[in-house]
Amino acid sequence: MPQPDWEELERRVARLEKLVGVEEAVAPTVVVSPVAVPAPVAAVNPATLLAVTGRALLGLAGGYVLRALSESAVVPPSWAVAAGIAYAAFWLAWAARTPAAHRLEGAVHCATAVLVFCPLLWESTLSFHTLPTWITGCLLVAFVLFGLAESWRKDLLTAGTIVTVAGLATASGLLVATHDLVPFTVALLAIAAGVETLACLEHRLHERWLAAFAADLAVLVTTSMARRVGGLPEGYAAIPHVWVLGTQVALLGIYLASTIVRTLLHRRTLTWFEMAQCGAALLVGVSGGLAGFAPICGLACYVVSFLVIERASGHGRNFYVYSTFGILLVLGGSGMLLAGMATAVVWSALAVSCIWAGTHYGRLTLQMHGGIYLLLGLASSGSLRTAAAFTLGSAHWTAESPEAVWAGLAAAGLCFLVVVRGRSEADSIPLQIFRLVIAGAAAWMLAGALAGGLIAGYHSAAGASFRDGYCATMRTGVLVGISLLLIWAGTRWRIAELSRLTIPTMVLGAYRLMMVDLAQAYKPALILSMLMYGVALITLPRLARAGTAPDATAH
């Protein structure tokens, strides 16, 4: 039987498929993009562990040999120190050249370099006095920064942690042991700057908080010792004032720059560490002599929060943190730079500005900050206390400072007018509460000014026939009159906040009537107080109804 010709059969089948319209199915080409695979981590076996441990012991033995040579004076101490530094650098370079997969081996080499280098610097500075403190600080910083650079280049957090902790511990110990604060404060700041640089490069070490704490404490100790009453203790190196200011500026600059890069450039949300550390750095700087710098930083925080962050991402954590830092810095800096009425004037001006800007541009946060500025300005100038003394107490115009009351009335009244001008029926509940607080402050200052002015006028007019009983009656009458004014103005111009203040004001009037007026021995004054309060109780409902009448809405 002849064998079939398979090639001829395939050709015939192909011609038939072509005639009937059946095409050969072509498998689609699938393009597979390469996937980045992280470098594998070499498994640790006992033999590798023993070999690495053996090399580390040999490295430590070499360090002890160099120490013995230095103590025995076989070679000059400076030569031995230089050889020791070069030996530690060799181990650190070996750790840097170790493949990234061999993490254990690289960490052990790095630890060996640290165990050789840090004790060498300590003894060369304190025992042998071979290295000046500034040279020691520079060598320590160079060692740590090299380790951090290799940690970032190979993504080895362990190596970065080892050199960072060792560098911080050595610099902090030398700061205390040498009594030379400036070089090692600068070294700690440089290490902190290196750690924050890695954080900006998305290589965040868990020891950020340790570096920040060490830098904060070093700057605080340096500042405190430089400002110590009686001068520096015996044995301490001089601390020039320019270096004190320089360390404070550097501390602020490091952490403010890191926060700005991460939040504004990388669009990261502020972490709790960054919020706490920025606050600590600002507190150390402001308390140490950078009070004049604080208001500038505060204004910058306002600009960033309202012109950058709010437009980009809305009211997130970054917005509220920046705006909160803004008001705290402005308050803290201006409070330390100014005193008395000057502080109150500045805060009152800030209150009017913030409330106007917040009302004009629809920024509730700015309006709230304006309210805080206003209340603090009234409190710092004594306006609130003086108004309370005129209204609820028995103070006389000549015994107090009436200018504080008039200044407070002007500030509170202007803020209230700005708030009322921008009100709307659709305002949120927080905004309504804010307007109620501003209206209450203005009403309180108006009551204090009226009570003090009436008592002063009565003293001047009555002369020898002056009676204290009528003074109490006039104070009660002021509260009653303010209540009637509030309900009338609130219903006439549809300002609900004024109407809501009527009851609290009448309660204060009742307090005066029962606790003060009833205790007066002069009965005509008591009767007059009771008549005024009774007439007010009858009149208040009529004023409320008149304000809600149809014809009243036309105003």
- Judge whether 108 and 53 are in contact, CB under 8 Å: yes
As a three-state string, the secondary structure of 134-167 is: HHHHHHHHHHHHHHHHHHHHHCCHHHHHHHHHHH
Write the DSSP string, 345-398: HHHHHHHHHHHHHHHHHT-HHHHHHHHHHHHHHHHHHTHHHHHHHHHTS---GG
Average pLDDT over residues 320-336: 91
Residue type, 523: K
pLDDT, tens only, 504-517 = 999 999 999 999 88
Query: 């004023």: which residue's tokens?
Result: 543
Q: How far is the C-alpha of 510 from the C-alpha of 180, rounded, in Å?
A: 68
Widest distance between CA atoms in the chain = 153
**Residue 117 pLDDT > 80:** yes
Contacts of 55 (CB under 8 A, 6+ apart): 108, 109, 112
Residue at token pair 């409190």: 379
Rounded to an integer, what distance in angstroms lies between the CA atom of residue 435 and that of residue 117? 65
Instruction: Specify burial of residue 136 (Cβ count, 10 A radius: 0-12, 13-18, 19+).
Output: buried
pLDDT at 71: 65
Amino acid 156: pLDDT:
77
Residue 39 has pLDDT above 70, yes or no: no
Which pLDDT band, with edges at 50, 70 and 90, does 141 fall under?
very high
* Cα distance between residue 501 and residue 497, in whole Å: 7
Instruction: Give mean pLDDT, residues 131-158.
Output: 90
CB 162 within 8 A of CB 107: yes
Examine the pLDDT at 338 and tell me if it is beyond 80.
yes
Residue 52: pLDDT band with limits 50, 70, 90: low
Mean pLDDT over 222-228 rounds to 91
| Residue 352 and residue 373 in contact, taking contact as beta carbons nearer than 8 Å | no
* pLDDT tens-place string over residues 365-420: 999 999 999 999 999 999 999 999 999 988 877 666 778 899 999 999 999 999 99
Q: Of the ranges 64-68, 306-310, 407-411, which is most confident?
A: 407-411
Structure tokens that stand for 211 in this block: 């570096």
Contact 435, 497 (CB under 8 A): yes
Band the pLDDT of 36: cuts 50, 70, 90: very low
Among residues 210, 208, 92, 209, which one has the least CA distance to residue 151? 92
What is residue 520's predicted lDDT score, i.e. its pLDDT? 77
List the chain domain ranges.
338-466, 467-555
Tell me the torsion sign for CA atoms 179, 185, 187, 192: positive
Express each pLDDT in 516-535 by its tens digit: 888 877 888 889 999 999 99
pLDDT number for residue 19: 62
Among candidates 385, 528, 386, which has minimal Cα distance to 467?
Answer: 528
Residue 9 pLDDT exceeds 70: no
Looking at per-residue pLDDT, the higher value among 46 and 212 belongs to 212
pLDDT of 50 over the 80 cut: no
pLDDT band at 216 (very low <50, low <70, confident <90, very high): very high
Provide the whole-model pTM: 0.78
- Residue 553, pLDDT score: 44
Distance from the Cα of residue 386 to its chain's centroid: 34
